[in-house]
Amino acid sequence: MIKDMKWWGWGDPAFVFPMDEKPLLWPFVRKSLGLTEDAPQTPPVDRAQVKLPERRRSADFEAAVAAFLKADQIAADDEQRLIHTYGKSFPDLFRVRRGIVSNAPDLVLFPESHEEVERIVAAARQTGVRLVAFGGGTNIVGGVEHLDPSAVRVTLDMRRMNRVLEIDRHSWTATIQAGAPGPKLEDDLQALGFSLGHMPDSFEFATLGGWLATRSAGMQSDAYGKIEDMVVALKLVSPAGTLSTKLTPKSAAGPDLDQVVVGSEGVLGVITEAVMKVHPNPAVKDYHGVLFPDFESGSEAIREVIGRRAAPTMFRLQDVDETQLAFSMKSPSTGISGFIQSQVKKYLKAKGYAQPCLMMVGFEGEADYAAEMRRKVLPMLKKHRGFHLGNSVGKTWAKNKFAVPYLRDILMNHGCMVDVAETAAVWSKLMPLYHAARNTIKEQFKKEGYPGYIGCHISHSYVDGASLYFTFAARQIAGQELEQYYRFKRLITQTFMENGGTLTHHHAVGYEHRPWMERELSRPGLEILRGLKRTLDPDNIMNPGKLILPAGPEALAPAPEFEVPR
Amino acid sequence: MIKDMKWWGWGDPAFVFPMDEKPLLWPFVRKSLGLTEDAPQTPPVDRAQVKLPERRRSADFEAAVAAFLKADQIAADDEQRLIHTYGKSFPDLFRVRRGIVSNAPDLVLFPESHEEVERIVAAARQTGVRLVAFGGGTNIVGGVEHLDPSAVRVTLDMRRMNRVLEIDRHSWTATIQAGAPGPKLEDDLQALGFSLGHMPDSFEFATLGGWLATRSAGMQSDAYGKIEDMVVALKLVSPAGTLSTKLTPKSAAGPDLDQVVVGSEGVLGVITEAVMKVHPNPAVKDYHGVLFPDFESGSEAIREVIGRRAAPTMFRLQDVDETQLAFSMKSPSTGISGFIQSQVKKYLKAKGYAQPCLMMVGFEGEADYAAEMRRKVLPMLKKHRGFHLGNSVGKTWAKNKFAVPYLRDILMNHGCMVDVAETAAVWSKLMPLYHAARNTIKEQFKKEGYPGYIGCHISHSYVDGASLYFTFAARQIAGQELEQYYRFKRLITQTFMENGGTLTHHHAVGYEHRPWMERELSRPGLEILRGLKRTLDPDNIMNPGKLILPAGPEALAPAPEFEVPR
């Protein structure tokens, strides 16, 4: 029922990234990062070498939960402790691959109902145990790692709470348990004729509760919204009691409490279920590739189409560098089709597409609705010099869309640092922000004296702006791997903040982004979050150290990026 | 610059409701409410009879603000105190018409900048003065009335802060001061080629800040969103400092603080400015009337159209009783057009439209966009038995849309109680809720032994549900007017709560809805609001008694509907 990822990397242990089918990819990577043939291999340590730390125990807590949980809902074995130690950030993987797991949980619980979560949280409050809620473990900002070294640390694996509890066919809403992972949730809904339509990169493993806790954005957010736009009501088990928000399309009864819980990253309590907007499972999913002569033209095209309310289901626009990476993942065409493609390439080059930017645009819905959208949108893209590549590119993209994150493990096996950083800004600031971030990282590669890769795509678009999603990679500096990583992470984040970008558009804060939260929210904004924490979790037992620090001397401690537990 | 409403009623003192042009209206009202020819007239008292209470003074506060405000920014005269005493709820008007103004502010300030508001709030905190922010004074749930009898009470009239500070033509956002009233805000934006498109009933007088503080919904919210959907960033001056939220289309940096401030009704601080989404001023505004054989058919038509993403700019569907009221407001047709209309009426009656429900549907935007929407939507409405009346009905509606609230003053002059109540629910609960509320009120009229009117319309629609807006009226019971009103108000609100409706969809909480807030939000939800209050306004100087009460013994005081100050 629960599909764990590789303990040392991303995704399904059985999946092998099809490098053989992509003969252009590895040469592209080697050239971009300056990897030599004889570069050292850096595989993860053997599982047998990973020594879990001694378990801290709370006899009171264990007795309390043993009273209402079955034996198979309580795990303290090394396997479960290891799997639940980290998310999948670069520092997470770097450490786990070296066998550094000092923050492993002491106990892992598998609640099966809202009521069990309530009883666990109550027991934790009584005994001072620390609780982290764990969904798919896909978080990449440190969201699920235990940080408090002074306490017994318990992780709640929510994935046994994975059912669609109720479907309201008339209102197009579904009540879903928070531990439902993407595939099960979609399968269950689609069996009922509906879809949530939330497909972030983490889709195969992450859960509804994790998405809600982090304000996740799916690839089709242009049509279906970010997760915060889909939520109608929810339940949060906090140490101060269960918050149950109103089931209503909209309300004027004070601040929107759904929007207080969404993005709270487990620090206020555990989300156990939510009523979500769903829609009839689309009959058609039609994805097309379009080439633009540059990033600006593509970006302007998106802005115009969305402004005219002709919004497709998805826009994804890759910059020059990411387009080259994407092209390197194609199987090379041979024979007639190879000949045609090379002619098209020559033609495009002559027309100003020497350094093209690739856009994927998607049309989902009833057949006539999708077709009409396509007929409306493609000419608007053409007006902005979009060259229509057809839907075969779209099919290839759709097939491979969840494979890319697996590539990082291969790079890490070859001594490389690789990570992503994302932000959003209003349109007037978007391109300056893009260039500032790209140039900053490129200059840093130059300054540090080694080649590196940085690529970017627009991943989510709005009437007033869009998000930018960067991927950067370089060879690791042996012995300084984490320092090197945090140097780049800090640089790009700082550049976002100085150029009108938000701290994070959909990866959340965890502890990696925490040092910038006051700048992001203003001082009273930070105090609001601290006040929420005091109200719902006065003893600071819920995911301590994430999102914000409580007020007081502790808040003056150095930012954790300089003190990642090793 | 500042256009005050009548001290004793709604709207422009110079506007006279054109009763003469509507010869069918008064007979309809008289019949519905059982008004006899010789019913007593109940005009407001003479202005000269209204005695303002003695001013309480804080020499320290007055000295503090005199140091940075000009003389004309400080008012303590009876005229200003009277104008700023109340909003426009039925209990507000009932009291002011009798000269009951015991809660008049002691001082009215007219800040002209964000910085002045900061200094006023700081001075208030130091001296313990209570502050209420006042926009158009259109609130109908008690939102702007001072309630704390123990303190010096100061009202901030925000309407000198009424400028569009900045337009971002690329991002379609505008930075607007909170005191900008609807008409000025729209005029200024339209001069720049843009529109906010927020047109609630209060449009002519209410301000942006008031709309944000109360989660207002404009008539065209189906296309442009409620006010909370339009806000991108804002500034809130709280006693704990100025919260300045991030300018970004979306973020994952914790809970959404815009959505904490929106709906906070002045209890956390004063909103001074906001960055709002705007859109190019629509070239076409095309409104049509459509008749349905019953409320259910019309409601189902809306649900289907919105579900298919063919959403028009506005849907407004009136039930049988409200349709009759609307028809009674028409000028009677004579000659040929009268003959044609009577034939149409006969035809419709024969076809099952004996008790029809009138829908207004609006299409705004570029000419081709609006036309395409119309071509798509009208056939879908027809499928649900919608009979297209054409756009002349729409033109009449658009012309009169802000006149209806004036009718209440006339009714109150004739000894009538009249008020509105609104809610929202998911589609599956909407029609049962509608019937429950309507029947409850109708039965109450019967029980109390006098005729009464209750009508309803769907005013705002969503994929997952819609709002219901009720108007009810009856003759007053002399000597028990407020008790009678609160009996009905309580009954209908209770019916909303018991049938899956939200406490309020867009009128906010004030003190009228406060007794239901725990039921609406759950206990931890209430505690969240109290915690927010403690964080931003620890001394409870901002609009005390609204939205929530602080925790503690005070919370146990009787609900204020039983103790309206007289």
pLDDT digits (tens, 9 = 90+) for A501-529: 999 999 999 999 999 999 999 999 999 99
Asked if the C-beta of B517 comes within 8 angstroms of chain A's C-beta atoms, the answer is yes
B308 contacts in chain A (CB < 8 Å): 366, 369
- Among residues A353, A406, A469, A485, the one annotated as catalytic is A469
User: How near does any CA of chain B get to the CA of A169, in Å?
Assistant: 8
Domains of chain B, CATH where assigned: 19-157 (3.30.465.10), 164-250+258-280 (3.30.465.10), 284-401 (3.30.70.3450), 514-562 (no CATH)
Rounded-to-integer distance, Cα A513 and Cα A517, Å: 7
A557 pLDDT more than 90:
no
Q: Write the CB contacts of A150 (distance below 8 Å, at least 6 apart in sequence).
A: none
B167, B171, B530: best to mutate for the A interface, most A CBs within 10 A: B171
Task: For helices B367-383 and B295-307, give the axis angle rounded to 10 degrees.
Answer: 130
Which residues does residue A390 pair with via DSSP β-bridges, in sequence order? Answer: A289
Pick B255's closest partner by Cβ from A232, A366, A529: A529
pLDDT at B150: 87
pTM: 0.96
Q: Are A129 and A64 a contacting pair, CB within 8 Å?
A: no
Is there a contact between B517 and A255 if contact means CB atoms under 8 Å apart?
A: no
B173 contacts in chain A (CB < 8 Å): 426, 464
Rounded-to-integer distance, Cα B437 and Cα B454, Å: 9
User: How near does any CA of chain B get to the CA of A347, in Å?
Assistant: 33
Q: B346-396: per-residue pLDDT in tens?
A: 888 888 899 999 999 999 999 999 999 999 999 999 999 999 999 988 888
Pick B529's closest partner by Cβ from A217, A249, A255: A255
Where does the pLDDT of residue A340 fall: very low under 50, low under 70, confident under 90, or very high at 90 and above? Answer: confident
Asked if the C-beta of A139 comes within 8 angstroms of chain B's C-beta atoms, the answer is no
**Which residues of chain B from 12 to 51 reach within 8 Å of chain A, CB to CB?**
none
Q: Write the CB contacts of A433 (distance below 8 Å, at least 6 apart in sequence).
A: A423, A425, A468, A495, A496, A499, A500, A501
Q: B144-181: per-residue pLDDT in tens?
A: 999 988 899 999 999 999 999 999 999 999 999 999 99
Which one-letter amino acid corresponds to residue A540?
N
Half-sphere exposure in the Cβ direction for B539 (13 Å, CA): 16
pLDDT at A551: 58
Half-sphere exposure in the Cβ direction for B497 (13 Å, CA): 18
Asked if the C-beta of B543 comes within 8 angstroms of chain A's C-beta atoms, the answer is no
Q: Which helix (H) or strand (E) holds A46?
A: none
* Residue (of B309, B308, B312, B307) closest to B286 by Cα position: B312
B522 contacts in chain A (CB < 8 Å): 241-245
Asked if the C-beta of A217 comes within 8 angstroms of chain B's C-beta atoms, the answer is yes
Rounded-to-integer distance, Cα B389 and Cα B359, Å: 10
A263 contacts in chain B (CB < 8 Å): 252-256
Q: Dig out the tokens for A250 from the structure.
A: 């909209």
| SS3 state of residue A274 | strand
- CA distances in angstroms from A172 to A211, B224, B235, B502, B509, listed in the order given: 20, 21, 35, 18, 28
**How close are the terminal C-alpha atoms of chain A, in Å?**
32
Asked if the C-beta of A351 comes within 8 angstroms of chain B's C-beta atoms, the answer is no
The residue of chain A with its CA nearest to that of B262 is A255
In the residue annotation, B287 being an active-site residue is answered as no
Pick B252's closest partner by Cβ from A242, A505, A530: A505
* Residue (of B382, B194, B355) closest to B288 by Cα position: B382
pLDDT at A566: 45
Q: Are A143 and A510 a contacting pair, CB within 8 Å?
A: yes
* Residue (of A433, A417, A514) closest to A468 by Cα position: A433
B249 contacts in chain A (CB < 8 Å): 424-426, 462-467
Is there a contact between A248 and B528 if contact means CB atoms under 8 Å apart?
A: no
Is there a contact between A260 and B503 if contact means CB atoms under 8 Å apart?
A: no
Asked if the C-beta of B509 comes within 8 angstroms of chain A's C-beta atoms, the answer is yes
Place of tokens 């100085």: A498
Half-sphere exposure in the Cβ direction for B417 (13 Å, CA): 24
- Among residues B224, B287, B353, B469, the one annotated as catalytic is B469
Which residues does residue B175 pair with via DSSP β-bridges, in sequence order? Answer: B166, B275
For chain A, the C-alpha Rg in angstroms (whole number) is 24
Pick B168's closest partner by Cβ from A426, A509, A525: A426
Q: A92-149: per-residue pLDDT in tens?
A: 999 999 999 999 999 999 999 999 999 999 999 999 999 999 999 999 999 999 998 8
pLDDT at A40: 83
User: How near does any CA of chain A get to the CA of B6, in Å?
Assistant: 27
Q: Are B207 and B4 a contacting pair, CB within 8 Å?
A: no
Rounded-to-integer distance, Cα A255 and Cα B271, Å: 14
The residue of chain B with its CA nearest to that of A546 is B254
| Alpha helices in A237-388, H assignment, sequence order | 258-261, 295-307, 320-328, 335-350, 367-383
ipTM: 0.96
Q: Dig out the tokens for B473 from the structure.
A: 């009226």
Pick B426's closest partner by Cβ from A171, A217, A521: A171
| SS3 state of residue B175 | strand
Task: For helices A481-498 and A90-97, give the axis angle rounded to 10 degrees.
Answer: 170
User: How near does any CA of chain A get to the CA of B47, in Å?
Assistant: 35
- CA distances in angstroms from A564 to A26, A483, A558, A560, listed in the order given: 32, 10, 11, 6
Which one-letter amino acid corresponds to residue B392?
S
Identify the sign of the CA torsion B103, B106, B111, B115: negative
pLDDT profile of chain B (566 residues), mean per 10 = 91 91 94 90 96 97 98 98 97 96 97 98 98 97 93 97 98 98 98 98 97 98 97 98 98 98 98 98 96 98 94 96 93 75 84 94 96 96 96 86 90 96 98 98 98 98 98 96 95 97 98 94 97 96 90 45 45
Rounded-to-integer distance, Cα B550 and Cα B240, Å: 17
User: How near does any CA of chain B get to the CA of A237, in Å?
Assistant: 10
B270 contacts in chain A (CB < 8 Å): none
Q: Write the CB contacts of A346 (distance below 8 Å, at least 6 apart in sequence).
A: none
Q: Write the CB contacts of B352 (distance below 8 Å, at least 6 apart in sequence).
A: B293, B385
Asked if the C-beta of B121 comes within 8 angstroms of chain A's C-beta atoms, the answer is no
As a dihedral over the C-alpha atoms of residue A524, residue A529, residue A535, residue A538, rounded to 10 degrees, the angle is -110
Rounded-to-integer distance, Cα B466 and Cα B458, Å: 7
Q: How many residues does chain A have?
A: 566
Q: Are A315 and A399 a contacting pair, CB within 8 Å?
A: no
| Alpha helices in B17-68, H assignment, sequence order | 25-33, 59-66
Number of neighbours of residue B119 by Cβ within 10 angstroms: 18
- The secondary structure of B450-501 as a DSSP string is S-EEEEEEEEEE-SSEEEEEEEEEEE--TT-HHHHHHHHHHHHHHHHHHTT-
